[in-house]
Chains A and B, each alone.
Chain A
Amino acid sequence: MARLGWEPLAGLWREMENFRREMDRLLERWGWEGYGWPSLTAGYPPINVWEDEANVYAELELPGMALEDLEIYVTGRNQLSIKGERKAPQVEKGTWLRQERPFGSFHRIVTLPVDVEADKVEARLQNGVLTIVMPKCEEAKPRKITVKAV
């Protein structure tokens, strides 16, 4: 009886939790020391997430960065966190005529819609594109249910 009553509330709770996280991120952005990352969109750097039957994939464009500059981890089975700092090139002499590329520190946290195997997550950085492959937990994989005719 109690369970039935709690189901819709659980959904609401999750919504509120998401909202809180959004707010935290906003505050974090206002308070941080980095510069250059545009502040009008949901978060920086932008992220694409997709899935197939076996894995969830996340991709970010991080040109000029090395894997050593990044901290990538999955916590609580569905929280992907990417942290790093993109440094501006060192220019000893000269005048900047144009400065459009974003630099500074960033931290993005994304809640994945399915649980993943945190210890089997793999990341690769190729031509400035970071791809994170996260194998889905066995329970999260789609299962074909055979329907028997009676």
Chain B
Amino acid sequence: MPTATETTRRGPRGQAAVAVPGRQAARARRAQRARDWARRAPLLPALVFLVVVTQLPFVATVVISFTHWNALAPGNRGFAAFDNYVAVFADSAMRSSVVTTVLLTVTVVLVSLLLGLGLALLLDRSFRGRGIVRTLLITPFLVVPVASALLWKHALYNASYGLLNGALTWIWGLFGSHDPPQPDWMTNSPLAAVEVSLIWQWTPFMMLILLAGLQSRAADAIEAARMDGASAFDIFRYLTLPHLRRYLELAALLGTIYVVQNFDAVFTITSGGLGTANLPYTIYQTFYQAHDYGRASAQGVVVVLCSLVVATFALRTVSSLLREEVTR
């Protein structure tokens, strides 16, 4: 594709512009510029819209982060220099929410990636009712996230009438016991409770991408390997896994983008309590409950700087995907 662009851009007129000086050259340059703008024109609305709606607010966030500004104490507004940043880094709640965010994201993405891989491998074979099983498996992803969080909190985890403890009562009852264990899931392991509900939601997503990857394998290479007596494990290790690599990377990248920003599950299931407050929730709280605009903005800036580090790494991964596409 780049070669096609080059040839159109350095068309016969462009070369003439170099050879013939004077008015003709100027006219050619103007024409070239007009053509360039005609090319750019369809791109501009989207670009301008995105800069205005996503980049300008961030600039404002940076400015506000250097001010004292609490909506509950409007008299005290003024330049704060680095006060808000000092407060953010001194805040143990902020530090622990960074750890929580990393733990939550890594656990959810890794576990759902592995489960998704297992399920994709199961679904890649033909068996009776495969279409139905695929539909059953993607259902969790199609439940509205806040509905799913409420479902897990009240209908499944609830210690007195949730399905989990209900099932324990039922199973223990089968063996004649009237004293089943009834753990309070959300209090005993709050972070795991959030993670399980998110893994349930994101596994189908991973599975769908990996399944598409599996189905784009070259069937003849696998058939040839099988003819040559390669074991199923060898085929997986040396043929399937290398092929799946870019799909695994893509699934992990996209999963990370979404899970890092998760708000619904943390907000609904534990309300950020018991060490489950992640960064989006912490900023939400500083802004919405403490009304400390300066501090919330400083937190936002710190989060953005952290995610830039992650994003640079992630973008490098994607750029390899893009390059593959170009050379294809």
Genuine A/B complex: no
Could you list which residues of chain A lie within 8 angstroms of chain B, going by C-beta atoms?
none
